[in-house]
Each structure stands twice: as C-alpha cells, then as structure tokens.
Structure 1
Amino acid sequence: MITRRNFLTNTALTGSAIVLAPISAAFATGKSNPDRKSTYKVEPKMKTRKLGNLEVSELGLGCMNMAGNYNPPADHQQSIKTIRTAFENGVRFFDTAEVYGPYTDESLVGEALQPFRNQVKIATKFGFAIDGTIALDSRPERIKKVVEESLKRLRTDYIDLYYQHRVDPNVPIEDVAGTIKDLIQQGKVLHFGLSEASPRTIRHANAVQSVSAVQSEYSMWTRNVELNGVLKTCEELGIGFVPWSPLGSGFLTGKYDTTTYFDKETDFRAGFPRYSKEFLPMNMPLIEWLKGYAATKNATPSQVALAWLLAKSPSIVPIPGTRTQDHLLEDLGAQNLVLTQKDVQDIDTMLSKFPIFGERMGEAHMSSIDYTL
C-alpha cells in the first residue's frame, strides 16, 4: 500500500496514422515566442476543440506515466519518440506537472516539444509541496516561484494552461486565482485551470480569473463528475473539461485481468482498491462487455472508451497517457470512431448494469480531492 510518507517520494502524484520524416533534435536551446512562426511543417491535422478560449487538438497526450506511477520510468529516448510521434499524428495538446517525477517529466516534455513549441499547447500544474509527503502548497509566493522553475524545465517563456493540481484548503481559491491573473497579465501564463475541484471552488475561482479548463478523472468506470455537478458547472460557465485517466488507469484497454501483477514499489495501482484481489474480479464483467461491444464497431476497447468521451460533449478533451507508440496510435484511432447519440445512450444503459467495486484511488490520493460542494 502506498503510504503518506512515500507517496511522492516514490514518484509523482498524481485509425491509421501518417508518420512524417524524423524530427531533428538539433534545435538551439532558447525561449519561445507565441507569436513567432515556426518553419516546421507537419501533417495531418486533427480536429480541434475549445477549452474556454484555448484551442487544442480533440485528443491530447497525458505524459505523467513517462516519469513513472504505473511502472518504473520509461526509457528517455522512447518517451521523446512517443511525444514526437503524437505531434506527427496531429496531437497539439500535452499534459505534464512539476510533481511528475518530480520535475523530470516537465524536462522531458520541454525537450521533446522544443522543436515545435509554438505549434503546441502545453499544460502543467502546481500545488504540491513536493517534500516527501502529500502536503499541498498553493501560497501565492510559492506559485510565483515554481512557475519560473516550470518555465525553465519546459524550455519556454509561457505556459498555455496552468492548473492548480489540487485545491489547497489552507489558501483561499480567490488568492490562487488572483495570483494566476497576475501571471497572465505578465504573459507567463495564458490560461488558468483547476484539477479535481468542486463546483463551489470552480465558481469562486472563475469569479476572479476566468477558468479555461477543469481536469478530473472521468471514464467509463469513474463517472463522479456526471453526478457531483462538476460537468454541469463547466457547461454553465463555458469551461472546457479534460478527463484524466480516460482509460481507467489502463483497465479499459482490456489488457489486464485478474492475474496481472502490480508492483507495490513502483505502481500506484497496487494501492487502488479497484485493482485489489478482492474487487478486480468483480469489475471484470465491464471490460468483457466492452470488448464485445468494441468488436461490433471494428474498434478496440480503448478506442470505444475515448470515442464515448468525445461524443459526450464538444467541450471534452481526453488526455490518454501511454509510454509506447503502438498504444499511442491505437488511442488516436478513437478520432475515427464516431458514436451517435443513440450509441452513447446505449452504452450508458449498459454501463448502468455494471456496478463498480472499490474506490478509484488509494486513501492517500483521495485525501487531496476537493469534495466541497
């Protein structure tokens, strides 16, 4: 079981594709200007969506697991290649955080995206103390400090979307939003986001500085935001929604079963109740149904799970995470699977027949979720 003491010490918190010529890494290190036009030419284009006023590709890439969390950290060059393959195949939205690694994931993303920085949108996050505990720290002075550090690691002079990673109960959200507003006025941040925030927090933050996106876990086996008012609040306020873990930490890929081993030292899922020996067998009927449904659509379970989210709302932008190019290209195939509203209704009806057993994360993880309504 992941303990509070080693929670952040171990690592971080949390279709065919047209592949172009290899991207050269021989680009000079330096800052980026959002108005400067890049000479790097790339196809194909993916459809775009809006997170508030921020335009992004309809599928993003979550880069967290490249630094670890669900297995040891991935090979550095493999991760660079995966990120650049995503770009070559139309992805323009990349998600990271200072706590992933910690710090190493931002550096990886910065290196991988530097050749075409001005053609992509980078989201990163602040809010953890990163002191070996799960302590939160969103004091204005700390935000002003860590944003500079993130900018350096990302090799840029602006962050497209800056999330508060978790709501800090010791710092009024108005103070956090006010600090981000200052950073936006300075040009260091372009858009403000919140992660795992309640409707009340979202409203209070948005009253001070417009919130472009809210990020929370959302998938076929984690649908809390449909019931707790978060999706409704985002829709009302014109805020985009970014589902993290849209494939259920890998469960919805259909690649795991009751014999799968999750290492307690390197894999957070070893401490997730849903993956326990008690509950995982009880949750398998969902994936068995999903495999069968996917076959009827000539798709994979992952593609159906992502297409379902895309069909839920034009303001939803999933960010599936993967370490390999094969899984990446499989995920990107979801953009070619168009589900009708009847399809979505049929899927929802079937999902209601499969109760989910066990909490979505371990106790340490869940302790930092903002439940205030």
Structure 2
Amino acid sequence: MESKHLGNTGILISAIGLGGMPLSLTGRPPENDAISVIQRALDLGVTFIDSADAYCLDESDKHHNEKLIAKAIQEYSGNKNNVVVATKGGLMRPNGSWARNGNPKHLRETIRGSFEALGGEKAIDVWQYHAPDPDYSIEESLAPVKEAVKSGLIRFVGVSNFSVEQIKRARNVVEVVSVQNQYNPWYRQPEFDGVLEYCERETLTFLPWSPLGGSRRVKSLKEFTVIANLAQEKEVSVYCIVLAWLRAKSSCIVPIPGATKVSSIEDSVQAVKVKLTAEEMGQIDKATA
C-alpha cells in the first residue's frame, strides 16, 4: 500500500483509507461481518480509518462506529501499531436525523465519549469538528478542542464541511492537519471554492467524504460512459477509476471509501495501482462537469 503524510505531521497513513460510516447506519451488517471488513482493510495495508460519534442509528446508539472500530483493532492479530483512527464530533442524531451542535459543553462531553469509545488508553489520533454550527462561533466551538489537545485527549485536529475562511479561523485557535469535505463526480465544489488549492498550499490532508457519491448514487457510476469504458480498458471497477481520478486531482487527497463487504474494500485498494493520463483525466472532468 502506498503511503501519504498526514498533513505536515510526518506521520504516514495509507493512500486509501476506510470510511466507517456504512458499518453503523440503518442496514448495517452484523457486527462480526463489520469487524471482518475492518480487519481485512488492515490486512491490505489500510492504516487510516475514518469514524464519527454520529455514525450510529440515533442518539441512543451514539459512538457505535467508534466502539466497533476499537473492537476490530483490539481483536486484530496482525500489526496495528501504525493504525490512525480519525473521528468527528458536532453532529447529533435525533430520531435518526442529522443536526449540528457546536455547543462547547456538548463538544467537551462528546470528545470524552469518543476517547472512551476508542479505548480510553491513548489520545484520539485525529478529532475533526464535523460541521460548523451557525449558533456558535468557530472560536467558541473549538475552545474545548484546544483544551482536549492540551490535556492529552486529542493528538491532532481536523475540520469537516469548512470553507477556506472557516479553516483559517479554525487554525487561529488550534493546529489543523486535515479537511474533510464532500468531493465526488457529482460534487466537485472543492476544485472551485479554493479549499483544495488551500489544502495543497498549506500541506493539509484533504479527505473527500462520499468519494463514490454515497449509497444513492454509487450504482449510477456505470452510467458515465467514459468511466465505464476506462474501467473496461484497465480491467478494474468503475469505483477504482473514480478513486484514481480523485487521487490524481491532488497529492493531498486521501479517499476514504466506505465498505460493508470485504469484497468492497478489496476492490477499493486496487485504485492505488490505477494510473490515469492527462487525457483520461480530462475526459472524466468533461463527463462530470
């Protein structure tokens, strides 16, 4: 597995990560199957796993994904010394819906909850503010995050669903190593809103969430004739082509595709071997414009 630096930390992570979200939402696989997916990812050299306190069914199920990942890693018999788990806080799941909560008191509590869910023995590798809450300033919301870094609950900090201006404000409060915004063939905003360019310039890792379009769109990838043809030519899946396209967009990008089956993560990691020419990149850009 190819490696990338996590921001400017000097820490190496796998060039393809694993997104934990689908392992904990409605329709999630049985726990044993989910653990098999995570452990197979580790077998394949994946050392970066993305989670969140809100990856669960509802508020009564909070921290499900973090606990699942912690259990899978704990029970893993192979080398797990270099595994980096990134989690997030700042979203609530009332009755299964999604709502922002940047209340400093809540964030202070959920950071502690994530720390314990992930084992409670070492600092959270990367804690990301899930989405800015307009009811609280970024400075207010990140104050308890700065405290948690100081007290040893959090090692590194990232932000998610942030604009360039918001990233700059966050960095005035705490050191930021990563940005996680939506980016896929249907949503190419990071190319045009300055976020991707800013991450490149400032040596921040960019983690595209929903890289394959999410559960509602992923099956539609085959409808992009250019992508389907390239997949056939290179004898890989359309998913590999999209992940390779994202990786080729910038050296700071680390895709984090989700998986609910072992075969899915086995397929995704093949994307590191796929090379796209400038002409092929242009064809995909045009088809997804």
TM-score (norm 2): 0.89
Alpha-carbon spacing, 1:250–1:307, altered in 2? closer, same or farther (3 Å) = farther
In the alignment, what sits opposite 2:4?
Answer: 48
Aligned residue among 47, 51, 68 for 1:92? 47
Distance 1:231 1:309 in 2: 11
Counterpart residue identity of residue 85, structure 2: I
Q: Which runs of 5+ in 2 are unaligned?
A: 57-61
Correspondence list, 1:98-177, <5 A: 98-101=53-56, 102-114=62-74, 115=76, 118-132=81-95, 134-156=98-120, 157-177=122-142
Contact 2:212 2:239 in 1 (8 A): yes
Distance 2:217 2:108 in 1: 38
Distance 1:332 1:95 in 2: 15
TM-score (norm 1): 0.70
Correspondence list, 1:246-285, <5 A: 246-250=211-215, 256=219, 285=223
Describe the SS at the equivalent of 1:330.
Answer: helix
| 1:57 and 2:14 aligned | yes
Counterpart residue identity of residue 111, structure 1: K
Distance 1:188 1:139 in 2: 18
Q: Which has the higher helix share?
A: 2
Describe the SS at the equivalent of 2:5.
Answer: strand
Deviation track 1:148-194 (CA, whole Å, cap 9, x = no partner) reads: 11111111431111111111111111123332222112221111111
Deviation track 1:241-263 (CA, whole Å, cap 9, x = no partner) reads: 0001111114675xx36xxxxxx
| 1:73 and 2:38 aligned | no
In the alignment, what sits opposite 1:367?
Answer: none
Aligned residue among 300, 316, 319 for 2:256? 319
Contact 2:199 2:252 in 1 (8 A): no
Contact 2:128 2:158 in 1 (8 A): yes
Deviation track 1:63-111 (CA, whole Å, cap 9, x = no partner) reads: 1001124xx1211000001100000110000011111113211110110
Q: Which runs of 5+ in 1 are unaligned?
A: 1-44, 258-282, 353-373
In the alignment, what sits opposite 1:39?
Answer: none
State, as a whole percentage, how many aligned pairs show the same letter.
Answer: 29
Residues 46-55 or 159-168, more deviating = 46-55
Deviation track 1:216-254 (CA, whole Å, cap 9, x = no partner) reads: 11112210111122212222332210001111114675x
| 1:209 and 2:192 aligned | no
| 1:293 and 2:254 aligned | no
In the alignment, what sits opposite 1:183?
Answer: 148
Distance 1:158 1:337 in 2: 35
Distance 2:138 2:54 in 1: 20
Distance 2:276 2:216 in 1: 21
Describe the SS at the equivalent of 1:218.
Answer: coil
Residues 82-91 or 209-218, more deviating = 209-218
Distance 2:30 2:205 in 1: 32
In the alignment, what sits opposite 2:59?
Answer: none
Distance 1:252 1:46 in 2: 28
Aligned residue among 180, 183, 194 for 1:218? 183
Counterpart residue identity of residue 337, structure 1: V
Contact 2:226 2:284 in 1 (8 A): no
Aligned residue among 215, 225, 243 for 1:306? 243
Contact 1:302 1:331 in 2 (8 A): yes
Describe the SS at the equivalent of 1:162.
Answer: strand
Describe the SS at the equivalent of 1:217.
Answer: coil
Contact 2:226 2:283 in 1 (8 A): no
Distance 1:342 1:210 in 2: 38
Once the 2 structures are TM-superposed, how far is the Cα of residue 139 of structure 1 from its aligned partner? 2.2
Please identify the structure whose Cα radius of gyration is greater: 1
What is the aligned residue count?
A: 278
